Amino acid sequence: MAVTIRDVAKEAGVSISTVSRALSSPNKVADATREAVESVVVRLGYRPNKNARGLITGRSGTIGLIIPDLENPYFGAVSKGVQERARAAGYSVYIGDFDEDPSIESTVVRSLAKQVDGIIMCSPRSTDVELGRLTSLVPTVLANRKFADVPSIVFDNGGMLRVLRHLTALGHTTIAYAGGPEQSWSHRHRSEAFQEFGEAHGTTELIELGSFPPNFGGGVQAADLALASGATAVVAYNDLIALGLLDRLRERGVSVPEQISIVGFDNVAVSTFVRPNLTTIDQPRKHMGRMAADLLLSILDADDAESTHIPRQLPVDLVVRQSTGEAPLSRRATGTTTAS
Amino acid sequence: MAVTIRDVAKEAGVSISTVSRALSSPNKVADATREAVESVVVRLGYRPNKNARGLITGRSGTIGLIIPDLENPYFGAVSKGVQERARAAGYSVYIGDFDEDPSIESTVVRSLAKQVDGIIMCSPRSTDVELGRLTSLVPTVLANRKFADVPSIVFDNGGMLRVLRHLTALGHTTIAYAGGPEQSWSHRHRSEAFQEFGEAHGTTELIELGSFPPNFGGGVQAADLALASGATAVVAYNDLIALGLLDRLRERGVSVPEQISIVGFDNVAVSTFVRPNLTTIDQPRKHMGRMAADLLLSILDADDAESTHIPRQLPVDLVVRQSTGEAPLSRRATGTTTAS
DNA sequence: CCTGATTATGCAAACCTTTTCATTCTGGGT
DNA sequence: ACCCAGAATGAAAAGGTTTGCATAATCAGG
């Protein structure tokens, strides 16, 4: 049988109340007894029973992390950050993968809600109304999405702007955007920034190619549309789409970046494995996980809602590599003829 | 306040014992009452308090998953499989990322051991002696490693054999192996298989290039050694190394597969994103996660150790793509001269 | 119609900890 | 020398559930 607080109390010659206090509120007990208790604790190898503690305090020392897909390194990085900070603060983390399925997301959140102190929802796919219900169940922090006044961590929305400035500086005047899933908050966000830039810079022609699955295949689809659009640069919703673009363009005999420039988002590891290396927006994903965890824990520990001191917005970085270059002189140099 | 078993009992007009039995051992209660209780349960939205249950049963309904690196999609896939099965069986899963650091691995296992029913250790990096200590703390299942009589799931060791047969069928007679980390159990395993094949097929010359970091950079390192070795085919410890090989070979003007064939292990998603596509061994990683979870749960539920009926070994598959081809006629056709 | 076996249900203890309240002890101020 | 404030400690309740034991109800066999 495991060693309980009783064993420690008996061994140390004090009451169980004293042992409990010595461990959880050390200042309420005399130094001498505290030290005596502590030495017995280590000698016997006593570990408080989390269930018994949780039963009475109502706290579990656990947080839940809800993510769309563990297999996606993007979310793996976020999870790693969350996990790292939670462990440092003495919390354990339950993980809930919902396989990109909003209904599973609901189920998982509801089943976890009762057994954790708080939840981090990363890139939630639920509708606003469902999200409202879910976030009312238990203290929640959102990552990659803003909703009402639920605390959240998002990436700086300046990424798209930087990309477009980079491309116009290279002389591109016709730029296409290969978007991600309609229901993605990030996609909508980027699309807006894309449009806004167009309104502010009338000289640049901006073309939305539509929505594509956020994977390699989506990029392959988008490539032919991009080519037909006459754009000399294509911004992809994420690196995977950009990779698909790259591959299909090569297949069609279009050279990157000489004829078309390509930019991705995320800076996944593989963007340096391909040729040309991908110019992309680096999002500090692990750091997002860390901050989400910090924010949640500060909310849990503080009784008042004074946790606004933590910055909610993370800066992103443009990483220029080989896939972007000067705009070609002839705007439609993509065909079979080499001279105009 | 949350709704407790008392509320349900009162509402249903039965005792709390009956409610408890209706939920946890339905066959011990009359059908009519069980149904009545169930309807009240859903109406009130009652969820048993896991702490209270755990306190008395000594079971937490939780398993721990210990993995080297969440950010690595290989382990993400395993985690996904574990998570999927655990959730289906009503278990939650704690995740513990130890950042490839054996000492953190120990710490995490020890801290988790007291609060979970069992643990799955995926690709443990600890030494045998430490692993012995850790696995004695709590029911454990090992993935990707065999140790003493601890239940484990590993991949079929026939992968290397298939690769070598594939390559010899293509006419390769000088084959190199770019290995992974020394302490990796998989690496040692593959290296052995590589050697054995050589002893059985005296006509083939097999060259071990050494150990490399299991990432892109490791492959870049290995490339020059491979070239110098005169091998016409290189088997890499994993796909990342293979990708590094591919990139460096292109840089040095060596064409794949015309001059050198490359094979990886793992079939990570990116192996289809590069040109030439990578020939590789597909390891059903998510399935490994599922089976590890099933095995652990069956051990936890069965009082006797009769869980040997679950297969412990997963078949792997050779996926032939573009990076392997016929051996060049001239064994050293890697130079600048095109004719011998 | 009665008896004994079987099934269904209720009562109460037990799980281990935290925390309120009461008690004892210490020491400083008068 | 006395009293009182404050600190240190102990006793006991509470938290929600499971489960062994006892009781009540049902039913088949005689």
Q: Render pLDDT for A223-255 as a digit per residue (tens, 0 to 9).
A: 999 999 999 999 999 999 999 999 999 999 999
A95, B97: Cβ pair inside 8 Å? no
pLDDT the model gives residue A340 = 41
Query: What gap in Å lies between CA B206 and CA B198, rounded to an integer?
Result: 6
pLDDT the model gives residue B284 = 93
Collect all residues with Cβ–Cβ distance below 8 Å to A286 and sequence separation of at least 6: A77, A78, A80, A81, A84, B71
In the predicted model, what is the mean pLDDT of residues B37-47?
A: 91
∠ CA B198-B202-B208 to the nearest 5 degrees? Answer: 35
Residue A52 touches chain B, beta carbons under 8 Å: yes
What residue in A sits closest to B86 (Cα-Cα)? A96
Residue B283 CA, distance from chain mean position = 8
pLDDT the model gives residue B340 = 40
Query: What gap in Å lies between CA B182 and CA B162, rounded to an integer?
Result: 23
Q: Which residues, listed in sequence order, are joined to residue B235 by a DSSP beta bridge?
A: B177, B263
Query: What gap in Å lies between CA A145 and CA B334, rounded to an integer?
Result: 53
Only one residue has tokens 């050779």, namely: B318
A57 nearest nucleotide via C1' and CA:
C18
With beta carbons less than 8 A apart as the criterion, state whether A18 and A9 touch. yes
pLDDT band at A336 (very low <50, low <70, confident <90, very high): very low
Only one residue has tokens 């709590």, namely: B138
With beta carbons less than 8 A apart as the criterion, state whether B118 and B137 touch. no
Cα separation values, B229 from A193, A316, B174, B249, Å: 53, 44, 9, 14
- The protein side of the strand C contact, defined by CB less than 7 Å from any of its atoms, consists of A 1-2, 4-6, 16-17, 20-21, 23-25, 46, 48-49, 52-53, 55-57; B 13-18, 21, 28-30, 32-33, 52, 55-56
Residue A225 touches chain B, beta carbons under 8 Å: no
Q: What's A278's DSSP letter?
A: P
What residue in B sits closest to A72 (Cα-Cα)? B73
Ramachandran sector of residue A61 (left: φ over 0; alpha: ψ -120 to 50; beta: rest) = left
With beta carbons less than 8 A apart as the criterion, state whether A171 and A143 touch. no
Q: What's B179's DSSP letter?
A: E
B58 nearest nucleotide via C1' and CA:
C15
Cα separation values, B138 from A49, A233, A259, A333, Å: 15, 56, 60, 66
pLDDT at B149 over 70: yes
Strand D contacts (CB < 7 A) among A residues 46-65?
52, 55-56
Query: What gap in Å lies between CA A193 and CA A197, rounded to an integer?
Result: 6
The alpha carbon dihedral of A88, A89, A91, A97 has a sign of: negative
Average pLDDT, chain B: 90
pLDDT the model gives residue B335 = 42
pLDDT the model gives residue A228 = 96
Q: Which residues, listed in sequence order, are joined to residue B207 by a DSSP beta bridge?
A: B176
Residue A228 touches chain B, beta carbons under 8 Å: no
Distance, Å, B55 CA → C9 C1': 24
In the predicted model, what is the mean pLDDT of residues B108-126?
A: 91
List the nucleotides on chain C closer than 7 A to a protein CB. 7-12, 14-20
Only one residue has tokens 């606004």, namely: A308
The token duo for A71 is 């297999």
pLDDT the model gives residue B303 = 55
Across the interface, which of B52, B96, B114 has its CB nearest the CB of A47? B114
The token duo for B316 is 């792997």
How many other β-carbons are positioned within 10 Å of the β-carbon of residue B173? 16
Distance, Å, A29 CA → D7 C1': 9
B51, A55: Cβ pair inside 8 Å? yes
What residue in B sits closest to A62 (Cα-Cα)? B94
Q: How far off is chain A from B54, nearest CA to CA, in Å? A: 6
**Which secondary-structure segment (H or E) carries B106?**
helix B102-113
Identify the three-state secondary structure at position A268: coil
Question: Which of B252, B38, B70 is closest to A83 using CA atoms?
Answer: B70
pLDDT the model gives residue B311 = 65
Q: CB pairs below 8 Å between A and B: how many?
A: 120
Q: Which residues, listed in sequence order, are joined to residue B67 by a DSSP beta bridge?
A: B97
Q: How far off is chain A from B202, nearest CA to CA, in Å? A: 36
pLDDT band at B308 (very low <50, low <70, confident <90, very high): low
Residue to test with chain B: of A85, A99, A270, A321, most B Cβ within 10 A = A270
**To 10 degrees, the CA torsion angle through B129, B132, B133, B135?**
150
The token duo for B322 is 């573009």
Residue to test with chain B: of A272, A273, A274, most B Cβ within 10 A = A273
Buried b (16+ CB within 10 A) or exposed e, A170-182: bebbbbbbbbbbe
First to last CA, chain A: 86
Asked if A32 CB < 7 A from strand D, the reply is yes
Across the interface, which of B47, B70, B272 has its CB nearest the CB of A79? B70
In the predicted model, what is the mean pLDDT of residues A17-30?
A: 89
The token duo for A223 is 């490539």
Distance, Å, B283 CA → D3 C1': 81
Name residue A215's amino acid.
Answer: N
A55, B52: Cβ pair inside 8 Å? yes
Backbone angles phi, psi at B120, to 5 degrees: -110, 120
Query: What gap in Å lies between CA B154 and CA B221, rounded to an integer?
Result: 29
What residue in A sits closest to B219 (Cα-Cα)? A273
Query: What gap in Å lies between CA A319 and CA A283, rounded to an integer?
Result: 10
Question: Which of B156, B196, B160, B166 is closest to B178 using CA atoms?
Answer: B160
With beta carbons less than 8 A apart as the criterion, state whether A233 and A176 touch. yes
pLDDT the model gives residue B337 = 41
With beta carbons less than 8 A apart as the criterion, state whether B206 and B194 touch. yes
A76, B76: Cβ pair inside 8 Å? yes
In the predicted model, what is the mean pLDDT of residues A183-196?
A: 91
pLDDT in tens, A43-60: 998 989 989 999 998 888
**Which secondary-structure segment (H or E) carries A84?**
helix A73-88
In the predicted model, what is the mean pLDDT of residues A138-167?
A: 92
∠ CA B158-B161-B164 to the nearest 5 degrees? Answer: 155
Question: Which of A181, A169, A94, A89 is closest to A144 using CA atoms?
Answer: A181
Question: Which of A206, A205, A281 is closest to A241 using CA atoms?
Answer: A281
Angle, helices B31-44/B5-12, rounded to nearest 10 degrees: 120
Domains annotated for chain B, with CATH where assigned, are 5-30+37-48 (no CATH), 62-154+286-314 (3.40.50.2300), 159-283 (3.40.50.2300)
First to last CA, chain B: 85
pLDDT at A311 over 90: no
Residue A76 touches chain B, beta carbons under 8 Å: yes
**To 10 degrees, the CA torsion angle through B272, B278, B283, B289?**
-40
Of A84-93, A329-338, B81-90, B312-321, least confident by mean pLDDT is A329-338
Query: What gap in Å lies between CA B294 and CA B304, rounded to an integer?
Result: 16
Identify the three-state secondary structure at position B60: coil
Residue to test with chain A: of B4, B51, B83, most A Cβ within 10 A = B51
Cα separation values, B220 from B180, B223, B246, B247, Å: 13, 5, 8, 7
